[in-house]
Amino acid sequence: MGSPPEAIGRVEQKLGVRFPQDYKDIVADESGTAGRWSSSGDYLVLDPLNDLPGINEAAELASRLPGAVIIGGDGSRELLVYDFREQPPPLLLVDGWAESWADGILQAESLTALLGQFREQGWIWD
């Protein structure tokens, strides 16, 4: 697997993106991928870094949501994605069957911001 920076670099190369630094810092620490519960009962999981290329390929979002890179979700059908059409890429929640970006719901401008607000508010649904 190599060191965290090497592993992150390999995944970035496979996905054709450069992750924001806060994401890199969080996934460099393996505990960063643990699930989190909110006070509202919502669940957030960050997918293991090395699983991202396979998850993104299997989801086949590229044709429907160009620039989307899945990094996690709610443990069920909702996907947490970076929108790499923008820099820095914001995080949106999208249904696994979303047809376009219009179906996405902005969650936060960064992973740090999302994690900071998630415990109290959970997912934003509208």
DSSP 85: T
Name the strands in the sheet holding 68-73, side by side, starting at the edge strand that comes first in the sequence. Answer: 36-37, 43-46, 68-73, 78-83, 91-95, 105-108
Is the pLDDT assigned to residue 33 strictly greater than 80?
no
In 3-state terms the chain splits into helix, strand, coil percentages (rounded to 5) of: 40, 20, 40
- If one looks up domain 4-121 in CATH, what number appears? 3.40.1580.10
Any idea where the domains of the chain sit in the sequence?
4-121
What are the angstrom distances between the C-alpha of 56 and each of 25, 37, 61, 62, 121? 21, 24, 7, 9, 27
pLDDT of 1 above 50: no
Write the pLDDT tens digit of every residue in 44-72: 999 999 999 999 999 999 899 999 999 99
In this prediction, residue 96 carries a pLDDT of 92
Buried b (16+ CB within 10 A) or exposed e, 59-75: bebeeebebbbbbbbbe
Asked if 80 and 73 count as a contact pair (C-beta separation under 8 A), the reply is: yes
- pTM, whole model, 2 decimals? 0.92
